[in-house]
Chain A
């Protein structure tokens, strides 16, 4: 039972354009959602989070949108840069500490 789903295994975007990464979830009891970025042979790096009581959170080039009725969230990166090429994981917090990850989306930024 996959509670957090990232249906696109990969995404390719031109440098300077907007990257949109999508995530769906099934458990309406999740309180918070987080996005992590992971380079090969490194641990995930925290990017941005959003509470379930909000619909948008912004931090620099990164914006996360939450649509609770659709159980859907998205991460927007604008403008996209070559260093953004990585695997992006959507995660939800179950209880106080248990992170449930999606399968990840590999983002490639083309020059």
Chain B
């Protein structure tokens, strides 16, 4: 079982709203990730949590705030976003498989900022 779940599937928000994206995995994976994907582009890494601690922040603007409440959950809090932040937000978790830290992705949340 390599299932990563994400809620909501779709989200529309105004530039003054505060919202949160949620991600969950019950595979015991030690690392969890947030990616952003714009249309016809590859996913771009935003944040990495290892053992519930933030290990990588790819210089993401502070209007995106990640949170890892426990080893199974990962949140992305959104505040004062811009229309250019509209994208597919992907969560992933990883386990070591044959020596490589293999990442498994959720279905994504499609975000539209108006």
| Chain A residues with a Cβ under 8 A of chain B | 31-32, 34, 36, 41-46, 49, 51, 89, 93, 96-99, 101-104
Contacts and interface: CB of A to CB of B under 8 A. Distances in A.
Given A42-B107, A101-B42, A96 B90 contact: no
A104 B44 CA distance: 13
Contacts, number: 64
B41 A46 contact: no
Interface residues of B, number: 31
Interface of A is mostly: strand
B102 A34 contact: yes
13 contacts: A32-B101, A34-B103, A43-B108, A46-B102, A93-B100, A97-B50, A97-B55, A97-B56, A97-B94, A97-B101, A98-B45, A102-B42, A103-B42
Interface of B: 2, 4, 6, 31, 33, 40-45, 48, 50, 55-56, 90, 92, 94, 97-108, 110
A34 B90 contact: no
Contacts of B50: 97
Contacts of B44: 101
